[in-house]
Amino acid sequence: MAQPLLEARRLTKRFGHVRALQDADFTAYPGEVVALVGDNGAGKSSLVKTLSGTIRPDGGQILVDGSPVELHSPLDARRHGIETVYQDLALAPDLDAAANLHLGRELYRGGLLGRLGVLDHAAMRRSAVTAFAELGVDLQDVGAPVATLSGGQRQSVAVARAVAFANRIIFMDEPTAALGVVQRGRVLDTVRRVRDRGICVVLISHNMPEVLSVADRVEVLRLGRRVARFTAADTTVEELVGAMTGALDAESAGGAAGSAGQAAADAPRKDGAP
């Protein structure tokens, strides 16, 4: 396959004495949908936050287009064309959908007003309406505070924000978790359409049939480490679950399987989410 777009090598991250990532590897290629799966507490969100510049790893290396990069902040990641839909959505509930979509990337009025930092509310609203329409999201009022929206609509706002600005890679951390059947389908359509635009999508999900239907590849994380990689087309739900739970260790490279038993000794707590 081609040169990886984004590669993580032996990332480690500790929170106190919880080891969220232990020599975690991850690879994403241009133009693919790669699913990142694992049990609760496997380190998926930590890996995503590390690769989107939100948390700094304690060790390891991140490569974009094969060259090492330092992601000191989410801005650094954005500069590499990386956008993220965080599991907690990272929206400002008192601001409306249009403001959230453009947060940190506001549009300004022309001329002197713009140089004084005066925002172009109308333009941001228009562009938000377009962005939501493209996703098939039905927001009656882009001017209503995000807090007044339903959980699904909020999730849509976070997805729309990432999709509107990503040009290379989007991380989606459980973007379908709060959604009903119809909206879930819509998000998966969005994933495919974004991929068809040539943007790589990293999808985190606990829904294995969903993963196999939309992803080109699957990488499995367990106890803070990549333990398996699959091509979605030749994989079954049973294999994925086996790799997630450790019943099956398919990662051949790097001897990761060999130390899995030791890793299990300091297993992180499960956080009880469904």
Contact footprint for ligand ADP (CB under 6 A):
15, 18, 20, 38, 40-46, 268-269, 271
Any residues with CB less than 8 A from the CB of 106 and at least 6 apart, and which? 119, 124
Q: Which stretch binds other proteins (CB under 8 A): 10-18, 38-46, 143-151, 228-236?
A: 143-151
Least distance between ligand ADP and beta carbon 146 (Å): 23
- 242 lies in the binding site for other proteins (CB under 8 A): no
Q: Which stretch binds other proteins (CB under 8 A): 8-16, 145-153, 220-228, 254-262?
A: 145-153
Instruction: By CB under 5 A, name the one of 22, 45, 100, 153 that touches Mg ion.
Output: 45
Any residues with CB less than 8 A from the CB of 228 and at least 6 apart, and which? 218, 219, 220, 243, 248, 249, 250, 251
Name the DSSP letter for residue 4. -
Least distance between ligand ADP and beta carbon 7 (Å): 19
Among 165, 225, 156, 211, residue whose Cα is nearest residue 187: 156
Instruction: By CB under 8 A, name the one of 151, 198, 254, 261 that touches other proteins.
Output: 151
Any residues with CB less than 8 A from the CB of 217 and at least 6 apart, and which? 29, 32, 33, 34, 35, 229, 230, 231, 232
Least distance between ligand ADP and beta carbon 43 (Å): 4
Q: Cβ atoms within 10 A of the Cβ of 24, count?
A: 28
Instruction: By CB under 8 A, name the one of 180, 198, 254, 261 that touches other proteins.
Output: 180
Least distance between ligand ADP and beta carbon 4 (Å): 22
Nearer to Mg ion, 99 or 243 (CB): 243
By the 10 Å C-beta count (0-12 exposed, 13-18 middle, 19+ buried), 126 is classed as middle
Phi, psi of 247 (to 5 degrees): -65, -25
Among 60, 85, 84, residue whose Cα is nearest residue 8: 60
Any residues with CB less than 8 A from the CB of 133 and at least 6 apart, and which? none
Name the DSSP letter for residue 80. T
Least distance between other proteins and beta carbon 271 (Å): 18
- 75 lies in the binding site for other proteins (CB under 8 A): yes
Least distance between Mg ion and beta carbon 243 (Å): 18
Binding residues for other proteins restricted to 41-60, rule: CB under 8 A:
54
Work out what residue 193 binds among other proteins, Mg ion, ligand ADP, none; the CB cut-off runs from 5 to 8 Å by kind: other proteins
221 in Cβ contact with 40 (< 8 Å) = no
By the 10 Å C-beta count (0-12 exposed, 13-18 middle, 19+ buried), 76 is classed as middle
Nearer to other proteins, 92 or 264 (CB): 92
Instruction: By CB under 8 A, name the one of 69, 103, 260, 267 that touches other proteins.
Output: 103
Beta strand pairing call for 33-37 and 82-85: unpaired
- 57: which 2 tokens? 């790893």
Give me the residues that bind other proteins (CB under 8 A), please.
54, 73-75, 78, 84, 86, 88-95, 99, 103-106, 108, 116-119, 121, 134-136, 138, 140-141, 143-145, 147-154, 180, 182-183, 185-186, 189-190, 192-193, 196
Give me the residues that bind Mg ion (CB under 5 A), please.
45, 87
